[in-house]
A and B are shown apart, each in its own frame.
Chain A
């Protein structure tokens, strides 16, 4: 069972990982929101934010190949989605392709969407490459996200691997009894597997609930005291915020 596969990349020690997870999360959010708020066609500002993300990635000693590989798939998805913008925004025709036309307004939106998305995705990739799931949970908890949600996330992280294994067992069982030859029976089989997975995950939640009650659970999940971290959290987040605000202001002028 690959229990740590989500944390697979976040193992390199660096100046970034010595900061508290809350700081890492907040700076990521500031950078991503900053990129998303840029107006159309703010190329210098997009480049500046992109350079900041790359600089931080270098500081975090993320291997360029890993960074690019993790960035490629979501960015390709954004690219596919943005193709519609090329032809759907009305404006001056730049390139006529049969019945449709690529417009200047379309190109502007296409480029801006991809540029802003690339910066935001880069910031998110940087976060995943430096932060383990438990640290992320700690950060969300310290940001006062409802305890309900953080508790659910913590348990879901455990359940997910169990559920994946459960589904794999169901499929192996189906294969070993030669179930579902042909596409219609196969569809029914998959529906059955999904329904069984749903039942078993809720059954498991019942069992876990009883076990938790048996250990004196009162509705709050305790967590270990977070490890002390280097730096000045408030100062670092404030600096990032100020920088992004300046960049945004320069784009609006």
Chain B
């Protein structure tokens, strides 16, 4: 569930994510205007329409499953990160208001997860890798693939953290389930992003946003940021498996008080039967089984872009 519907997030999370997204988008709007000037409106329109169409377009993966492109990293590496963030935000507005895909109150959270972390964060990871490896066509493709995978997982972990902080599901379970569910999503996203980006690089390299050549200092900064992000992601995955690592971090940050009033008494974080791992696994299987069934039945109507 990359698009969080309304009804799942607590007031504190809604307020916090909305404020963060608004700030990030304000920066993106200013930076993108400075870079694109009057080219901006048509370019963003095209990027928005492409992301929108791409999300309606299903790629068969075999074994009856299919995936659609999220598109954040692809648009970021082609059109630049600021334009990509704004384009994804536009897509999210339309999806929330017109297609009821993702909640209206949850728009801030969805923007944070998919536009800011997904596209913006994904681009940062891409640039970080290029800073370390150099920018040949093949390296760009593989950097885009890695960035697409990590950005999808990052999105999933962010959704899990938000659900956990809202008191819907224990934090650790939420990160495990939602983040884990985004691992296959990330693999599909990586394959699609790399192959489509490769095709564009081969046939129309002039369309691709050229990263401004950075100074050595900035390259190092980008490299270090990437390494830090990778470590943080790994630590989140590892910490979520460790008892109480994140809960204690949460208590240290004073978040416990902030969310306590939305959380029903949950004295013990152990799942009822079989431990959190089993519950998480069964939850994932249930959600996926049901979702697969529903969308399989829905797909028979043949609504492909």
Contact = CB atoms under 8 A, between A and B. Distances in A.
A217 B38 contact: yes
Contacts of B97: 25, 28, 124, 127-128, 136
Interface in B81-138: 86-87, 89-90, 93-94, 96-101, 103-106
Given A33-B104, A124-B96, A148-B40, A117 B5 contact: yes
Interface string A106-136: 0011001111111011011101100001001
Contacts of B305: 164, 167
A55 interface: no
Most buried by B among A103, A199, A203: A199
B194 to A, nearest CB: 10
A35 B174 contact: no
B192 interface: yes
Interface stretch (B54-62, B140-148, B223-231, B249-257): B54-62
B73 to A, nearest CB: 13
Interface stretch (A12-20, A58-66, A186-194, A228-236): A186-194
A52 interface: no
A117 B41 CA distance: 34
Of residues A32, A115, A154, A183, which shows the largest number of chain B Cβ atoms within 10 Å of its Cβ? A32
A127 B8 CA distance: 21
Interface residues of A, number: 98
Interface residues of B, number: 92
A159 to B, nearest CB: 4
Contact of A160 (B53, B207, B262, B291): B53
A47 interface: no
Name, among B14, B52, B78, the residue most crowded by chain A CB atoms within 10 Å (CB to CB).
Answer: B52
B286 interface: yes
Nearest to A117: B7
Contacts of A6: 98
B7 A163 contact: no
A247 to B, nearest CB: 14
Interface stretch (B149-157, B212-220, B239-247, B264-272): B264-272
Contacts of B59: 187, 190-191
A114 B14 contact: no
Interface of A: 6, 25, 28-29, 32-33, 35-37, 39-40, 70-71, 73-74, 76-78, 80-81, 83-85, 87-93, 96, 99-101, 103, 105, 108-109, 112-118, 120-121, 123-125, 127-128, 133, 136, 140, 146, 148-149, 151-156, 158-160, 162-164, 167, 183, 186-188, 190-192, 194-199, 201-206, 208-209, 212-213, 217-219, 221
